[in-house]
Structure 1
Amino acid sequence: MIDVKVADWVGTVQVADFAGLSRYDAAFAWELRDTVVALADDSEVKVIVLRTDGGDFAPDVPGAPLPSDRSATWRRVFAGAKGLYQSLAFCKKVVVTEVTGACRGAGSALVLCSDLTVAAEESSFGSPFLAVPESNFVLAALTMRLNRAKAWAVTGDVLDAARAEEVGLVNQVVPGASLRAETDALAARVTAMPLDGVTMSKMLLQAVLDAHGVGRDFDLATHYAARRRHAENAGGGAL
């Protein structure tokens, strides 16, 4: 269930957790995508906050199904130009992720697609690249720096909150008890910018993402899924 509230220029999207994206729950993903797009089009919204009810942001999903590279639903809902991840990465409004606990698979992909992230001290971030074909390496390189993104992609390391802040994946790490208040305070600071300023800033950011090939990397998701399926069918594990 997705709960949406709009107040003081902030649209808050709250769910139990985002693990449904790692399970490739198309209905949940499409509802989340539609919610983000609607908030982006709302003239009373400057900031979109993605948060959970207080548990893990996106826990592990053992044995999560691999999307078929032939699945039209997967391409439309998850990997396509109008799908969830690109709707977030190229959103017209500022997207803030509020992370507590485990952030794995699609959860880390959401963090890469967002603009700002506030994390609780006990949170941790698993590399999305071994689990989610639509993860965007260019976004990781732009966010974390190329050598750090490469290490995260090829080792699959789990980063604790302090390390995630150090490498630039997270903007702010706070005590868990202060997480919601600090996220709300950050969102409020962003809303001090005029709406036109928010939109223009995001348009400039989108130009940078386009120039660095973020959209082309999303387009390769089908290739990554096919390679993963080939590797797993061959008994060699995910690529």
Structure 2
Amino acid sequence: MTAVLYEVRDAVATLTLNRPQALNALDLAMIDGLAEASARAAFDREVRAVVLCGSGEHFMAGGDLKWFREQLALPPAERQARFSRLIGAVHASIEQLKTMEKPVVASVQGAVAGFGLSLMMAADLALAADDAYFTLAYCRIGLSPDGGATWSLPRLVGLRRAMEIALLGDRFDAARAGELGLVNRVVPRAQLADETAALAARLAAGPTAALARTKALLNASFTQPLSAQLVGEQHAFAACGAEPDFAEGLAGFFEKRPANFSGRE
């Protein structure tokens, strides 16, 4: 069974975690599959938006604890080295999702735990079914978070709430995730696929290069001084103004019609 399915339709790439019998828990095959699929989506010029979802009843229940338990047979030093290599491979996908020049939408249901929550937070937007439930969970098995959770979480919910979520490992529901700002919208489970498709189609029809620059500016804003951020905005604005989508956006406005963006630089 392919651990991560990849499909492109109408300029939207859908990456589907595909271990439903194991609640899509992260194993070695899925690590490789995520790296390959995220890189493929990032560099495919026909793709203008990306959806990240899970097959079956759950998005992802975190790492594969059975595999973790098997590693206890290794000496501590060897185990540490193996985990370091493993997390390095996992992080390649997170960085790809955060930096790719197209918007990424996470569509989640059921369990969103451990690395599943980290993965969801790596997306630019997130939709959750009303049956979704969330926990960072690492502290419950004596681990610290990975997958960029310690970077994304305080940016989304603030430092104090991030500490609570990470240090206590409590489980919370979709409504609470919405209140915290972890997800953009909570929808009935039966409507999740349609709502996700509609959002992805809207993003894919947008001015892709301008959206990519906006995404990069927002991600940089927490570590940039205002002067550097203003320079970044200046360069991005000027670059957008030299591209066909700017002319098309103006034409659509003055002709009182939707703009037909090409998404090209």
Q: Normalised by the size of structure 2, how large is the TM-score?
A: 0.70
**Correspondent of 2:163 among 150, 153, 159:** 150
Would the aligned equivalents of 2:60 and 2:116 in 1 still touch at CA under 8 Å? yes
Give the match for residue 76 of structure 1.
88
SS of the equivalent of 2:6 reads strand
Letter in 2 for 1:69: Q
Verify: 1:41 aligned to 2:43, yes or no. Answer: yes
Identity of aligned residues (%): 32
Structure 1 residues 15, 21: CA separation in 2 closer, same or farther (over 3 Å shift)? closer
Give the match for residue 115 of structure 1.
124
Give the match for residue 245 of structure 2.
none
Letter in 1 for 2:30: F
Unaligned runs of 5+ in 1: 213-239
Give the match for residue 13 of structure 2.
11
Tell me how large the CA RMSD over aligned residues is: 2.5
Would the aligned equivalents of 1:21 and 1:106 in 2 still touch at CA under 8 Å? no
Question: How big is each residue's C-alpha offset from its partner over 1:116-157, in whole Å with a ceiling of 9 and x where there is no partner?
Answer: 111110110111542563143121011112221111111111
Give the match for residue 248 of structure 2.
none
The structure showing larger relative contact order (alpha-carbon pairs under 8 Å, at least 6 residues apart) is 1
Structure 1 residues 101, 197: CA separation in 2 closer, same or farther (over 3 Å shift)? same
**Correspondent of 1:26 among 23, 28, 47:** 28
SS of the equivalent of 1:122 reads coil
Q: Relative to total residues, which structure has the larger helix share, 1 or 2?
A: 2
Verify: 1:190 aligned to 2:203, yes or no. Answer: yes
Give the match for residue 218 of structure 1.
none
**Correspondent of 1:203 among 203, 209, 216:** 216
Give the match for residue 65 of structure 1.
68
Higher-Rg structure is 2
Would the aligned equivalents of 1:22 and 1:132 in 2 still touch at CA under 8 Å? no
SS of the equivalent of 2:80 reads coil
Would the aligned equivalents of 1:17 and 1:53 in 2 still touch at CA under 8 Å? yes
Q: Normalised by the size of structure 1, how large is the TM-score?
A: 0.77
Give the match for residue 175 of structure 1.
188
Would the aligned equivalents of 1:116 and 1:170 in 2 still touch at CA under 8 Å? yes
Letter in 1 for 2:68: P
2: CA distance, partners of 1:105 / 1:16: 17
Would the aligned equivalents of 2:114 and 2:145 in 1 still touch at CA under 8 Å? no
Would the aligned equivalents of 1:58 and 1:104 in 2 still touch at CA under 8 Å? yes
